[in-house]
């Protein structure tokens, strides 16, 4: 693969900057990610992956480094690793179209290669700490007064009338598909709905229900996490996350979620029954 003269000069410049920034982890991580972008542009995917990995070691869960590494893995047909990186990006920020598109491409490719059980062969998908999501959200927000911050929060919680209308219509279409047992189509509609209104808790818990039916347990947990971030006392989110954790053999987490349900609703018979089952698990 030929590298352009401009890229050679740029890479050399970045190399010098990297040497000069050895003591500052954050700056160094950014420089590695930038150099990775240049490698990716030139088709040097192996070097891109190396630099992205270095960047992520210095600055864990860097969005740009994760996306660039995912693209490089995909170009090298290392689809499982690409899927993991795309899914990690969506944990950090659900509203990144490139990551959604990447997940869809990898799902199709892995289904073609490994069949219906392709998820069983995936490497572990790291759980992004809430502190990382919050710090990234703060970094993305410009400095503003408390009054301005309040206005921004209100806008996030209340989408415009047109977006809210579309979100509601798409959610209802998803609900109709659930009643028919067509959970994949329901997931598509719920995903589109969240694109219009990413703050609607019931859409996350509804999609989590679909993911449970599709045996996509990690995805169900991710949706329940988001639902609980928006509503810390949401019983459906706790219960559905407990169901997913049970299937993934996460006994401790499952019991914690069920105890949260019973704390909010002591007479919840369904949660009581599932708790008894889980407590008997080895």
Per-residue confidence (pLDDT) for residue 13, from 0 to 100: 57
Q: What is the dihedral of CA 118, 124, 125, 127, to 10 degrees?
A: 150
Is 26 exposed, middle or buried (CB count within 10 Å of its CB: 0-12, 13-18, 19+)? exposed
Closest CA to 31 of 47, 44, 15: 15
pTM score of the predicted model: 0.50
Superfamily of domain 1-126: Tetratricopeptide repeat domain (1.25.40.10)
Q: Does residue 152 carry a pLDDT above 50?
A: no
Q: Does residue 148 carry a pLDDT above 90?
A: no
Q: Does residue 236 carry a pLDDT above 90?
A: yes
Chain mean pLDDT for the chain: 84
Q: Does residue 248 carry a pLDDT above 60?
A: yes
Contacts of 34 (CB under 8 A, 6+ apart): 14
Which is more confidently placed, 181 or 150? Answer: 181
- The class of domain 161-280 in CATH terms is mainly alpha
Per-residue confidence (pLDDT) for residue 9, from 0 to 100: 54
Closest CA to 119 of 191, 209, 220, 203: 220
Mean pLDDT check: name the lowest of 19-28, 150-159, 247-256: 150-159
Mean pLDDT of 104-120: 89
Contacts of 207 (CB under 8 A, 6+ apart): 174, 186, 187, 190, 191, 194, 223
Q: What is the pLDDT of residues 8-54, one digit of tens each?
A: 555 555 555 545 545 577 888 888 899 899 888 888 999 999 999 99
Mean pLDDT check: name the lowest of 43-47, 96-100, 217-221: 96-100
* Location of each CATH 1.25.40.10 domain in the chain: 1-126, 161-280
CB of 214 within 8 A of CB of 183?
A: yes
Of the ranges 17-31, 58-72, 150-164, the best mean pLDDT one: 58-72
Per-residue confidence (pLDDT) for residue 10, from 0 to 100: 53
Per-residue confidence (pLDDT) for residue 48, from 0 to 100: 95
Cα distance between residue 68 and residue 82, in whole Å: 10
């Amino acid at each position: 693969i030929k590298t352009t003269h401009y890229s050679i000069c740029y890479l050399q410049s970045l190399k010098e900057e990297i040497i000069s920034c050895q003591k500052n982890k954050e700056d160094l991580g950014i420089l590695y990610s930038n150099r990775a972008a240049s490698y990716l542009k030139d088709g040097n995917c192996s070097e891109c992956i190396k630099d992205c990995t270095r960047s992520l070691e210095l600055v864990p869960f860097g969005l740009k480094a994760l996306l660039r590494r995912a693209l490089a893995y995909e170009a090298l047909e290392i689809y499982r690793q690409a899927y993991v990186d795309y899914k990690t990006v969506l944990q950090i920020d659900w509203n990144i179209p490139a990551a959604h598109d990447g997940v869809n491409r990898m799902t199709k490719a892995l289904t073609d290669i490994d069949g219906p059980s392709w998820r069983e062969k995936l490497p572990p998908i790291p759980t992004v700490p809430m502190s990382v999501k919050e710090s990234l959200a703060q970094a993305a927000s410009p400095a503003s007064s408390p009054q301005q911050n309040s206005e921004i929060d209100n806008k996030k919680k209340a989408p415009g009338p047109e977006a809210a209308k579309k979100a509601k219509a798409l959610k209802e279409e998803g609900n109709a598909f659930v009643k028919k047992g067509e959970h994949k189509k329901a997931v598509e509609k719920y995903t589109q709905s969240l694109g219009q209104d990413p703050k609607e808790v019931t859409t996350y818990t509804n999609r989590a229900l679909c993911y449970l039916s599709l045996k996509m347990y990690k995805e169900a947990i991710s949706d329940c996490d988001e639902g609980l971030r928006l509503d810390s006392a949401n019983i459906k989110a706790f219960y559905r996350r407990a169901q997913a954790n049970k299937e993934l053999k996460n006994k401790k987490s499952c019991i914690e979620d069920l105890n949260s349900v019973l704390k909010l609703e002591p007479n919840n018979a369904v949660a009581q029954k599932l708790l008894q089952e889980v407590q008997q698990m080895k």
